[in-house]
């Protein structure tokens, strides 16, 4: 039995919908405000929550605009780019939010306790009822960090009444979860491993539906001299130059999609860097963390265009390969949706997973991908596969 009522439903989320304006994640907003209040810094709070500075600051700005209230007092300067403190309005709102969330916890806990007692008193073979439709996706981090997956799930729920939720991990970890039957679907970007996954009979359906690009980034001072290499020479030439100049490269080293691409490039390069020149990104769960390490260690790194777009280090890290100015299709980063062939096969659950996969890779899903984020002047984070 769980230790508290909260343990039974720890995954619920609260959102704010303000008339026709953008829907905001209440939980993310107030968790961020709480962290800022403790750390006195947006960048430190964002790092603790593994969010990019740009995403965190954008969430604050969206909330201030939607609510017509100032949430932060910002200080300019300092080694961390200045500090920040919560306004009185923010403190009051945070206090009210905590009361609301505790009340929701209490009410849901009471409801679940009631349902548990009712279930215990029911006969062994109760009449069939329609269960809550629920799907779980094990997703790579980029669609999660941008908020795109939240939007896709919300739109699909409003359209169908099917609740889709996700856990954010690297592609390799997502496929491990899929093998164990811990999810209904995968959203991953590791084509070779995906093909092997399907050959093993672990997936029932796979469809490519969106792309971004891999970027090779590094210090703007460019100690490896990559800027003199023409991008149409191919990514292998850039990696060979890193070996020749003995420059450090941050490696995901975690069986993620980016790590898989890195291994693929080294294999094509037909050379191997000295072990001391590879810096494993330990304790990093996404390419945003890789970019932070590349900045801190003045190193090069393979990342992706979306993470670079979200990163706060664009002024410090230059893109040397992959920005699309050349026709190197090997740096296209393709994301696929996979329906798991679960051992505990449930025909209704399987059909719901297939329905979501068809919708996601169909016209409606691709339209959302193409326009996201539609509330800013930024370029789309991803492109549907038919928009390459």
Each residue's pLDDT tens digit in the chain (388 positions)? Answer: 344 433 444 445 555 655 545 555 677 888 888 888 888 888 888 888 877 888 888 888 888 887 788 888 876 544 444 578 888 887 877 776 666 666 556 555 555 555 455 555 554 454 444 455 689 999 999 999 999 999 999 999 999 999 999 999 999 999 999 999 999 999 999 999 999 999 999 999 999 999 999 999 999 999 999 999 987 888 999 999 999 999 999 999 888 999 999 999 999 988 888 888 899 988 777 899 999 999 999 999 999 999 999 999 999 999 999 886 656 788 999 999 999 998 888 888 999 999 999 999 999 999 999 999 876 667 899 999 975 4
Tokens of 7: 């343990």
Q: In this predicted structure, what is the pLDDT of residue 53?
A: 80
Residues 169/176, Cβ–Cβ less than 8 Å? no
Rounded to whole angstroms, what are the CA distances from 50 to 65, 84, 168, 363, 375? 24, 18, 11, 32, 22
- Among 140, 133, 131, 132, residue whose Cα is nearest residue 178: 140
What pLDDT score was predicted for residue 189?
96
Residue 165: the pLDDT is 92
Q: What is the pLDDT of residue 213?
A: 94
**In whole angstroms, what separates CA 136 from the centre of its chain?**
15
Domains identified in the chain and CATH numbers: 5-93 (1.10.10.10), 131-388 (3.40.190.10)
Q: What local confidence, expressed as pLDDT, does residue 81 receive?
A: 46
The pLDDT of residue 253: 85
CA-wise closest residue to 78 among 42, 102, 47: 42
**DSSP letters of 268-325?**
HHT----GGGEEE-TT--SHHHHHHHHHHTT-EEEEEHHHHHH-S-TTTEEEEE-SSS
Q: Is 129 left (phi over 0), alpha (psi -120 to 50) or beta?
A: beta
pLDDT value of residue 12: 52
Residue among 226, 174, 134, 145 nearest 336 (CA) = 174
């Amino acid at each position: 039995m769980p230790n508290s009522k909260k343990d039974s439903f720890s995954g619920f989320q609260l959102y704010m919908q303000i008339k026709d304006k953008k829907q905001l994640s209440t939980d993310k907003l107030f968790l961020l405000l709480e962290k800022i209040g403790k750390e006195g810094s947006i960048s430190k709070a964002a790092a603790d929550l593994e969010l990019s500075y740009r995403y965190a600051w954008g969430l604050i700005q969206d909330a201030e605009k939607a609510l017509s209230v100032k949430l932060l007092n910002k200080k300019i300067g300092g080694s961390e780019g200045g500090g920040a403190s919560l306004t009185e309005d923010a403190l009051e709102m945070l206090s009210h939010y905590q009361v609301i969330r505790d009340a929701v916890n209490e009410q849901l806990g009471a409801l679940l306790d009631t349902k548990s007692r009712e279930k215990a008193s029911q006969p062994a073979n109760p009449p069939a009822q329609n269960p809550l439709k629920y799907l779980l996706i094990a997703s790579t981090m980029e669609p999660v960090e941008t908020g795109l997956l939240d939007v896709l799930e919300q739109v699909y729920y409003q359209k169908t009444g099917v609740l889709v939720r996700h856990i954010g991990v690297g592609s390799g970890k997502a496929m491990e979860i899929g093998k164990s039957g811990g999810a209904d679907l995968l959203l991953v970007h590791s084509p070779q491993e995906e093909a092997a996954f399907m050959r093993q009979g672990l997936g029932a359906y796979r469809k490519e539906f969106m792309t971004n690009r891999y970027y090779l980034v590094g210090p703007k001072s460019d100690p490896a001299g990559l800027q003199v290499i023409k991008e149409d020479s191919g990514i292998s030439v850039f990696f060979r130059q890193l070996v020749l100049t003995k420059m450090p490269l941050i490696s995901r080293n975690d069986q993620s999609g980016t790590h898989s691409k890195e291994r693929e490039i080294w294999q094509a390069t037909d050379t191997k860097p000295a072990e001391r020149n590879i810096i494993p990104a330990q304790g990093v769960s996404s390419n945003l963390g890789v970019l932070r390490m590349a900045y801190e260690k003045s190193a090069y790194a393979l990342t992706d265009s979306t993470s670079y777009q979200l990163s706060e280090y664009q002024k410090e890290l230059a893109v040397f390969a992959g920005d699309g100015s050349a026709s190197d299709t090997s740096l296209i980063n393709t994301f696929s949706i996979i329906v798991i062939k679960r051992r505990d096969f449930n025909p209704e659950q399987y059909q719901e997973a297939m329905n979501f996969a068809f919708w996601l890779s169909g016209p409606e899903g691709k339209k959302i991908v193409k326009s996201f984020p539609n509330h800013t002047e930024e370029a789309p984070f991803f492109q549907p596969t038919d928009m390459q």
